[in-house]
């Protein structure tokens, strides 16, 4: 079987290098509309998608993330977390990969489907971005720093409700180069008939 949706699913790649061009308002609206049409547990739709496109604000957030990582104690030994802590002290640290647009997905507290709902919305954003020629990537660092007071206060200043949990974020823009295509692991499908 072959159709546009299936081709889009296979064509989507995590893009981590972007050029300077900002995406258009129309493109941003397409992505945010895709997000809010994701399913949500009990039709909660309690998420908020905050799109940040202002360069200065993104850089300020990057500084706060850098500060946050300096004092952050990873809650497990996932190698990516330790690498990020080290990377955060470098001069060229940029957690959002210098993308022109960052969309932060937050959700109400004490809601067990908060992460699942936001993850599904993010996948909609990834697929919509692919379908209109944009690159995108899941960015986990704001979730890791979800309890950091500096990061939280700054996002609240940008409209995040004070009690919201930072679930995830995505960067979007015009990708540079061809991202690698990571092979899919064998043995991850189990069909019982
Ligand atoms: C929950 C989750 C967290 C991720 N966090 C990051 C991240 O912080 N930074 C990053 O560059 N990629 C991140 N990724 C992207 C994965 O690294 C990527 O999906 C994987 O390498 C497979 O590549 P593909 O998306 O091109 O198929 C994340 C993906 C998921 C699902």
If DSSP codes are grouped into helix, strand and coil, which group holds residue 66? helix
* Residue 38 neighbours by CB under 8 Å, 6+ apart: 117, 120, 121, 123, 124
Ligand 1 center–CA 193 separation, angstroms: 32
* Residue 127 neighbours by CB under 8 Å, 6+ apart: 5, 8, 9, 12, 34
pTM greater than the 0.75 cutoff: yes
Weakly modelled stretches of the chain, pLDDT under 70: none
14 lines ligand 1 (CB under 6 A): yes
108-156: pLDDT as tens digits: 999 999 999 999 999 999 999 999 999 999 999 999 999 999 999 999 9
Atom of ligand 1 nearest to the CA of 126: 25
Summary count for the chain: helices (H), strands (E): 7, 4
H/E stretch holding 33: helix 25-36
């Amino acid at each position: 079987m072959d159709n546009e949706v299936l081709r889009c699913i296979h064509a989507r790649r995590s893009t981590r290098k972007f050029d300077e061009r900002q995406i258009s308002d129309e493109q941003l609206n397409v992505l945010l509309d895709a997000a809010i049409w994701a399913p949500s547990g009990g039709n909660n739709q309690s998420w908020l998608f905050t799109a940040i496109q202002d360069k200065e604000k993104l850089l300020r957030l990057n500084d706060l993330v850098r500060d946050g990582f300096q004092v952050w104690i990873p809650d497990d030994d996932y190698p990516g977390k330790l690498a990020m802590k080290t990377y955060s002290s470098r001069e060229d640290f940029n957690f959002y990969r210098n993308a022109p647009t960052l969309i932060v997905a937050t959700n109400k507290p004490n809601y067990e489907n908060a992460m699942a709902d936001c993850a599904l919305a993010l996948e909609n954003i990834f697929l919509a971005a692919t379908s209109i020629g944009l690159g995108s990537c899941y960015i986990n660092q704001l979730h890791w720093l979800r309890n950091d007071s500096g990061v939280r206060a700054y996002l609240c200043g940008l409209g995040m409700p004070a009690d919201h949990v930072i679930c995830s974020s995505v960067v979007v823009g015009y990708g540079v180069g061809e991202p690698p295509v990571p092979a899919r692991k064998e043995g991850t499908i189990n069909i019982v008939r």
